[in-house]
Amino acid sequence: MSNQTLIEHFEISLQTPSGEVSTAVGVPTSFVPVTAILPLMRSLGEEVQELELAQVREAGHTVSCQKGCAACCRMLVPISVPEALALANRVERLEQPERERLLTKLDLAQQQLARAGVLKQLSALADSPDPVSDEAIEPLNRAYYALRMPCPFLENEVCSIYDDRPAACRELAVTSPATDCQDMTRQSIRPVPVAVRISTALSLLWADLTTTTPRLIPLPLAVDWAKRHQAEQQGRWAGTELFEKAIDKIGRYLSQEKARRSNGG
């Protein structure tokens, strides 16, 4: 029997608030880990968001974000379980000196969070048995941002994991002046609308696959969280099942976002 992975091809059409995204994808029919869906989800998220960016530019606005502009890299970044597992795998593949250096930075970040009195709250968020609302997490967002703590993956104001950066980082862009970003809580900040939050879709996908609670994990805790949940890395699903469930989650999110905007939300 051949060990060659069979690929099934699909045509995707997603209706977004700013237009249609159509693309062809190849999906493995074999059993794969949930992390195998990440490249597709990231690609779709970026295509959907590009429509939002195009609409903003057509309205005469300029996106301020550039390489080296890392004010947003002091914000609390929530990531899904699949993203946390993939990030831990990436760190594990690093050469030992680089891996140890990065793990030290993550440990120092957690020490700073502990001294600030927010580490326990962040840990509780990562392991909460119940879904956490945006309203409930907002005070924690503000307490985290008040620390102005650089992301542990930031090197000389540049993301060291750019190709594998979390979905939440990919989705954040502003049209307000870059100088305003020195304080991301200012009312003058004008974020580009986000049509679908891929981390949320991935969180819902994971909950569906495992019959658990949708959860989002604070980025500085993600590698430790993945190490403490080794069993979660062993799951395998048919590639077509992952694909169909993931597209369903994105479609539902887009439908809700279109309805919200239609209602003036």
DSSP 74-88: GS--EE-HHHHHHHH
Cβ(129)–Cβ(213) under 8 Å? yes
pLDDT at 132: 81
Number of domains in the chain: 1
Instruction: Return d(Cα 47, Cα 43) in angstroms, integer.
Output: 6
pLDDT at 2: 39
Cα 112 to Cα 76, 118, 125, 189, 221, distances in angstroms: 14, 9, 17, 27, 12
Residue 221 located in a structural domain: yes
Instruction: Return d(Cα 173, Cα 66) in angstroms, integer.
Output: 10
Domain span holding position 236: 7-262
Residue 32 located in a structural domain: yes
**Residue written as token pair 């060291």:** 160
pLDDT at 68: 80
pLDDT at 159: 94
Residue 174 located in a structural domain: yes
pLDDT at 221: 97
The whole-number mean pLDDT for each consecutive block of 10 residues of the chain, a chain of 265 residues, reads: 69 94 92 95 96 96 88 94 96 96 97 96 91 85 94 94 94 92 87 95 96 93 95 92 96 94 82
Residue 15 located in a structural domain: yes
Taking each helix axis from N to C terminus, what angle separates 134-146 and 119-126, rounded to the nearest 10 degrees?
Answer: 140
pLDDT at 4: 56
pLDDT at 135: 85
Residue 2 located in a structural domain: no
Residue 80 located in a structural domain: yes
pLDDT at 166: 96
pTM: 0.93
Cα 152 to Cα 52, 138, 156, 218, distances in angstroms: 29, 21, 11, 12
